Chains A and B, each alone.
Chain A
Amino acid sequence: MARRVTMQRRLAFTALAWGVALLLFFPILWTILTSFKPEAQAIASPPAIIPDWTLENYLTVQERSDYFRHFLNSVIISLGSTLLALLIAIPAAWAMAFTPTPRTKDILMWMLSTKMMPAVGVLVPMYLMFRDFGLLDTTFGLTIVLTLINLPIVVWMLYTYFREIPVDILEAARMDGAILWKELVYVLVPMAVPGIASTLLLNVILAWNEAFWTINLTASKAAPLTAFISSFSSPQGLFWAKLSAASTLAIAPILVLGWLSQKQLVRGLTFGAVK
């Protein structure tokens, strides 16, 4: 009897999980399906679920804009800002995890609190600074901004991972003659690889998806895929199939990356929580 209840429960939970997953994924699925429909079919009512399979929209999108340039900008900005953030955050998290002061917790909270600030509140001063320093519409400027925006999360994640590493091992390295940078490069970083990898992945995804600053601080030269989509939505807003094709192109790289690394991501995000 008990076994049957368990079986029913399991079936119910599986169905529920599939339902929730489909609900969450449905907008993306619909976008992808729509991108393969001819324009007329895309706006047809009632909507057709199975498209008539055409690549015309993708060809038009590539003809009318320069997808690959935007794609390259996205890659430069998200990878650049992630690597820069790791370069700053690894020593910072090391200091906070292994040589904490009575103020360390407060500093960490303060760093996190900056994430709660509405970005639009500092848009004007940031814009003016970018204009004066000649950083508007440059990948360099965007890399700096995204580094700063995601730095608190990167420091926090690495801090959590580093705290799991026994301090004895780092002290052993010091006794073995390792100076600070060797201790970091030969001992800490290799031991924290799973944590650093998931931090890197998450940060690339966050940077790739960041839209507010990338749209507001670029015009055309440095515009990444987010800006490309937003620019596409006004003149082509009524052409759903083409807009869907552009959206699919924008999210595809990160979708594939996320899919390939989901195991690593889940492991990283639950690091320390499950032993």
Chain B
Amino acid sequence: MGSITLEHVNKSFGEHAVIPDASLEIEDGAFVVFVGPSGCGKSTLLRLIAGLEDTSSGLIRLDGEDVTRKGPAQRQLAMVFQSYALYPHMTVRQNIAFPLKMANVDKAVAAEKVAAAARVLNLTDYLDRKPRQLSGGQRQRVAIGRAIVREPKAFLFDEPLSNLDAALRVNMRLEITELHQQLRTTMVYVTHDQVEAMTMADKIVVLNAGRIEQYGTPMELYRSPANRFVAGFIGSPRMNFFEGAAADNYAAFAIGVRPEHLTISREAGEWEGTIGVAEHLGSDTFLHVDVPGAEKLTVRTDGERDFAHGDKVFLTPDPGRIYRFDKDGQALR
């Protein structure tokens, strides 16, 4: 069991509120991703759940039990850090066994559990090495091994993949998702990478300036963003926004159209523009189009279509996929 509930949690440093008022319900077994730009308070929120930071006010419950005043050691949560945070003076075996040693688990039982975790994570051959003798990916696996070995109520991940190179990051992303499918334990995962958020999460929490902007499944966030911030943050490349005359036609202060919901044509369309940069990715092509009187628009199109810098093109939005926003940035439905 591992449901996590935040009730009006506030964290302030002096006058400055990093988390003004956060309430959230994370169901047992869910994979929840906190995503937002750097400095939005996502890591702070995770550290509040972990007990590494004290709340200024509000309640944190684990399985219904109030743990707000309990230390990290008493919360039975496991955490994987961005820096791996392995104990450099211990071998891989001792690192993974450390939580069991702290819990006074019988040595024979602990050895079995360490061996099992090492098998799952392909670390069996490295058990007697020190962390400095391992690669980045192996170190991250040791950190995960240390987390899973004592069967915590929930796993907390603080940007665990940001120190890895791109290829390894994709691999580890899959491994962590598979691990979640195997264990079905609650996982809370912090990242600034919305691709990680979309691909891994059961549910995403979008944070901005310490506030929870929206909480929902990846597709809910993609299809019906609650406001302009979420609309701009979720989806890659990001949504195009229009204000003024183009928005007035739709009775909104601003409208947004995703790059994949714009149709491009050489003959006719709603907006006319000139291609500035064409990024050919093979499967897709991203076109950055200069439209007079609007910001630069991004269009996603089939990779096989042949567009180049300087081409005159017409763009037409899919009428059913136009997002409307009021003056405060809230979505109009």
Verify if A257 is at the interface (C-beta below 8 Å from B): no
Verify if B242 is at the interface (C-beta below 8 Å from A): no
User: With A171-B52, A171-B72 as given contacts, are A177 and B89 in contact (CB-CB < 8 Å)?
Assistant: no
Least CB distance from A94 to B in Å reads 16
User: With A171-B52, A171-B81 as given contacts, are A179 and B88 in contact (CB-CB < 8 Å)?
Assistant: no
User: Contact between A177 and B150 (Cβ–Cβ < 8 Å)?
Assistant: yes
User: With A171-B52, A171-B72, A172-B79 as given contacts, are A177 and B85 in contact (CB-CB < 8 Å)?
Assistant: no
Instruction: Name the contact of B85 in the complex, choosing from A171, A182, A190 (C-beta under 8 A).
Output: A171
Least CB distance from A170 to B in Å reads 9
User: With A175-B72, A177-B99 as given contacts, are A190 and B89 in contact (CB-CB < 8 Å)?
Assistant: yes
Verify if B221 is at the interface (C-beta below 8 Å from A): no
Q: Which residues on A sit within 8 Å (CB–CB) of B101?
A: 186
Q: Which residues on B sit within 8 Å (CB–CB) of A182?
A: 102
- One digit per residue, 1 when the CB lies within 8 angstroms of any chain A CB and 0 when it does not, for chain B 90-127 equals 00000000110111000000000000000000000000
Verify if A174 is at the interface (C-beta below 8 Å from B): yes
User: Contact between B73 and A178 (Cβ–Cβ < 8 Å)?
Assistant: yes
Which residues of chain A in 158-185 are interfacial with respect to chain B, using CB atoms and an 8 Å cutoff? 166, 168-169, 171-179, 182
A193–B76 Cα distance when bound, in Å, is 30
User: Contact between A191 and B102 (Cβ–Cβ < 8 Å)?
Assistant: no
Verify if B77 is at the interface (C-beta below 8 Å from A): yes
Verify if B222 is at the interface (C-beta below 8 Å from A): no
Q: Which residues on B sit within 8 Å (CB–CB) of A174?
A: 51-52, 71-73
Verify if A43 is at the interface (C-beta below 8 Å from B): no
User: Contact between B83 and A176 (Cβ–Cβ < 8 Å)?
Assistant: no
A173–B102 Cα distance when bound, in Å, is 9
Instruction: Name the contact of B98 in the complex, choosing from A168, A176, A191, A193 (C-beta under 8 A).
Output: A176
Which residues of chain A in 78-101 are interfacial with respect to chain B, using CB atoms and an 8 Å cutoff? none
Q: Which residues on B sit within 8 Å (CB–CB) of A193?
A: 89
Least CB distance from A40 to B in Å reads 59
- Chain A residue nearest to B83 (CB atoms) is A168
User: Contact between B73 and A177 (Cβ–Cβ < 8 Å)?
Assistant: yes
User: Contact between A166 and B102 (Cβ–Cβ < 8 Å)?
Assistant: no
User: With A166-B83, A168-B81, A179-B73 as given contacts, are A173 and B89 in contact (CB-CB < 8 Å)?
Assistant: no
Verify if B50 is at the interface (C-beta below 8 Å from A): yes
Q: Which residues on B sit within 8 Å (CB–CB) of A176?
A: 73, 78, 98-99, 102, 146, 150
A198–B102 Cα distance when bound, in Å, is 29
- Chain B residue nearest to A191 (CB atoms) is B89
Least CB distance from A247 to B in Å reads 42
A34–B247 Cα distance when bound, in Å, is 100
Verify if A187 is at the interface (C-beta below 8 Å from B): yes
Q: Which residues on A sit within 8 Å (CB–CB) of B86?
A: 169, 172
Q: Which residues on A sit within 8 Å (CB–CB) of B52?
A: 171, 174-175
Least CB distance from A10 to B in Å reads 35
Verify if B87 is at the interface (C-beta below 8 Å from A): yes
Q: Which residues on A sit within 8 Å (CB–CB) of B51?
A: 174
User: Contact between A166 and B85 (Cβ–Cβ < 8 Å)?
Assistant: yes
- One digit per residue, 1 when the CB lies within 8 angstroms of any chain A CB and 0 when it does not, for chain B 287-328 equals 000000000000000000000000000000000000000000
- Chain B residue nearest to A176 (CB atoms) is B99
A174–B85 Cα distance when bound, in Å, is 12
**Chain A contact residues: over half helix, strand or loop, or mixed?**
helix
User: Contact between B102 and A172 (Cβ–Cβ < 8 Å)?
Assistant: no
- Chain B residue nearest to A193 (CB atoms) is B89
Q: Which residues on A sit within 8 Å (CB–CB) of B85?
A: 166, 168-169, 171-172
Instruction: Name the contact of A178 in the complex, choosing from B76, B78, B102, B156 (C-beta under 8 A).
Output: B102
User: Contact between B87 and A175 (Cβ–Cβ < 8 Å)?
Assistant: no
A37–B121 Cα distance when bound, in Å, is 72
Least CB distance from A42 to B in Å reads 53
- Chain A residue nearest to B52 (CB atoms) is A171
Q: Which residues on A sit within 8 Å (CB–CB) of B98?
A: 173, 176, 178, 186
Q: Which residues on A sit within 8 Å (CB–CB) of B72?
A: 171, 174-175
A31–B146 Cα distance when bound, in Å, is 59
Least CB distance from B293 to A in Å reads 50
A176–B101 Cα distance when bound, in Å, is 9
Q: Which residues on A sit within 8 Å (CB–CB) of B50?
A: 175
Q: Which residues on A sit within 8 Å (CB–CB) of B103?
A: 177
Q: Which residues on A sit within 8 Å (CB–CB) of B102?
A: 176-178, 182
Least CB distance from B141 to A in Å reads 15
Q: Which residues on B sit within 8 Å (CB–CB) of A178?
A: 73, 98, 102
Q: Which residues on A sit within 8 Å (CB–CB) of B87?
A: 169, 172-173, 187, 191
- Chain A residue nearest to B71 (CB atoms) is A174
Instruction: Name the contact of A175 in the complex, choosing from B78, B82, B83, B89 (C-beta under 8 A).
Output: B78
Least CB distance from B253 to A in Å reads 44
A249–B203 Cα distance when bound, in Å, is 75
Instruction: Name the contact of B79 in the complex, choosing from A175, A187, A190, A191 (C-beta under 8 A).
Output: A175
A169–B87 Cα distance when bound, in Å, is 7
- Chain B residue nearest to A190 (CB atoms) is B89
Name the 4 nearest CB pairs between A and B, nearest first: A177-B102, A172-B85, A168-B85, A176-B99
Residues of B within 8 A of A (CB): 50-52, 71-73, 76-79, 81-83, 85-89, 98-99, 101-103, 146, 150, 156
Q: Mind listing 6 A-B residue pairs with CB under 8 Å?
A: A169-B88, A174-B72, A175-B78, A176-B78, A177-B102, A179-B73
| A-B contacts besides A168-B82, A178-B102, A190-B89, 6 pairs, CB < 8 Å | A168-B81, A174-B52, A177-B73, A177-B76, A178-B98, A182-B102
